[in-house]
Amino acid sequence: MTSRNYLLLTPGPLTTSRSVKEAMLFDSCTWDDDYNLGVVEKIRQQLTALATRAEGYTSVLLQGSGSYAVEAVLGSAIGADNKVLIVSNGAYGARMAEMADLMGIAHRVYDCGEVARPEVQTLEAILKEDTAISHIAMVHCETTTGILNPIAEVGVLARQYAKTYIVDAMSSFGGIPLDVAELNIDFLISSANKCIQGVPGFAFVIARTAKLEACAGHSRSLSLDLYAQWRCMEDNHGKWRFTSPTHTVLAFAQALAELAEEGGVAARYRRYLQNQQALVSGMRELGFRTLLDDVFHSPIITAFYSPDDAQYRFKEFYSRLKEQGFVIYPGKVSQSDCFRIGNIGEVYERDIISLLNAIKHAMYWKK
């Protein structure tokens, strides 16, 4: 173990502020009104307000990582007589398909490859051909590559063909401006330890209330029953059905306050975008190439090709950066040798400049 505080340049968990960490020094009781009414209910209201100003939406918190909430939505929103079209261009779209398999949910996968955006025309053709499809599910920012998927265009299709629309916005919500009502999203899923800049421990779903009400009795799981979790919070003023991750929730409340202090999602988006642009520019100056064309990049995480040098080893490169206080991410793309660098969290352009200097010193294969 080490007490050193590294800068995490990953898609989450990520570097948090000292004040977010300090919020966890307080112990809360899961039955206490100060916690449920004063913290949990306020968070639910804030999340819904961040997602849209439109009426008819609500939010529900769920213990576990983001994948738990994705599974809860798929298992609760899709009935026995329904079928979901899963759009996949990376590991997290593929994970949704795996969940559907294991839960016995009727589904069809549109896999457009890891380095391509889904074609809206192809999606429309599938919807016309397969009329059994009732739901569409896709990832907004696919952190396998950092690609940003066309959720607005797919939302138009979902509205046109009257499909329930599920968006995994794990790595984008709070960091990229969006409005769930304008995008026609019925279920948006994200996590505490992403762009809101909290710590791991729970995920959340922002849902169209009528669609959530229709989930009653659908769940394939007791603990991942999204409707039951929401109903408990609604009926008991913020109480969780099972043990609440109280310290994580307190940290998240502080993180939401800091998001507001920064200027909201628009200001955070500008910071992330500046980070990403500085990173790509500096990496290219050092001789690295991005996996994706710039037009596909999100401001969240960027994949870079590994150096074409026989001496290069990712583990050695990683260790040399870690010695200088920076932690990056290995690649996840199946067809290309890459590594990834994220720039979300308590990370600023000055940190990116420091990282680039550290990378220059870590390029042992150039020496």
Which residue, among 171, 168, 167, has the nearest Cα to 194 in the 3D structure? 171
C-beta atoms surrounding 1 within 10 Å: 3
For residue 208, the SS3 value is strand
Confidence tier at 22 by pLDDT (50, 70, 90): very high
Q: Kindly report the length of the chain.
A: 367
**350 in Cβ contact with 279 (< 8 Å):** no
In this prediction, residues 334-363 reach a mean pLDDT of 94
Radius of gyration, alpha carbons of the chain = 21
Residue-wise DSSP of 338-354: EEEEE--SS--HHHHHH
Residues 104-119: pLDDT tens digits?
999 999 999 999 999 9
Mean pLDDT over 137-162 rounds to 97
- Check residue 332 and give its pLDDT: 79
Q: Cα 147 to chain center, whole Å?
A: 12
Tokens of 91: 């590991």
Residue 1 has pLDDT above 70, yes or no: no
From the list 156, 176, 143, 174, the residue with the least C-alpha distance to 59 is: 174
**What are residue 183's phi and psi, to 5 degrees?**
-85, 0
Residues 6+ apart with CB under 8 A from 351: 7, 275
Phi, psi at 100, each rounded to 5°: -60, -40
117 closest CA partner among 137, 147, 95: 147
Separation CA 90–CA 47 (nearest Å) = 27
Show Cβ contacts of residue 110 under 8 Å, excluding neighbours closer than 6 positions: 85, 86, 87, 88, 118, 122, 123, 126
Round the average pLDDT of the chain to a whole number and report it: 95
**pLDDT band per the 50, 70, 90 thresholds, residue 5:** confident
Give residue 31's pLDDT band: very low, low, confident or very high (50, 70, 90): confident
Angstrom distances, CA of residue 353 to CA of 147, 160, 328, 343, 347: 23, 46, 15, 12, 11
Q: CA–CA separation, 103 vs 96, rounded Å?
A: 11
Average pLDDT over residues 272-289: 97
246: its two tokens? 């109280």
- Residue 336's pLDDT is 84
Dist. CA 26–CA 33, nearest whole Å:
15
Using 50, 70 and 90 to split pLDDT, how confident is the model at 3? very low
Token pair recorded at residue 361? 């010193």
Predicted TM-score (pTM) of this structure:
0.96
Query: Do strands 187-191 and 164-168 pair parallel, antiparallel, or not at all (unpaired)?
Result: parallel
pLDDT above 60 (res 2):
no
- What is the tens place of the pLDDT at every residue in 62-91? 999 999 999 999 999 999 999 999 999 999
Per-residue 3-state assignment (H helix, E strand, C coil) for 297-314: ECCCEEEEECCCCCCCCH
Of all residues in the chain, the percent with pLDDT exceeding 70 is 99
Average pLDDT over residues 137-148: 96
Cβ–Cβ < 8 Å for 7, 323: no
pLDDT grade, residue 241 (50/70/90)?
A: very high
In the structure encoding, which two tokens stand for residue 49, read together? Answer: 């307000």
Per residue in 230-240, pLDDT tens? 999 999 999 99
Q: Is residue 331 over pLDDT 90?
A: no
**Mean pLDDT across 122-133:** 97
Going by C-alpha positions, the residue among 212, 162, 207, 158 that lies closest to residue 187 is 207
Q: Which residues pair with 330 in a beta bridge?
A: 339
Prior bond of 307 cis (ω within 30°): no
CA distances for 184 relative to 16, 27, 56, 162, angstroms: 32, 39, 12, 10
Contact between 39 and 201 (Cβ < 8 Å): no
Distance between terminal CA atoms of the chain? 31
pLDDT of the residue at 4: 52
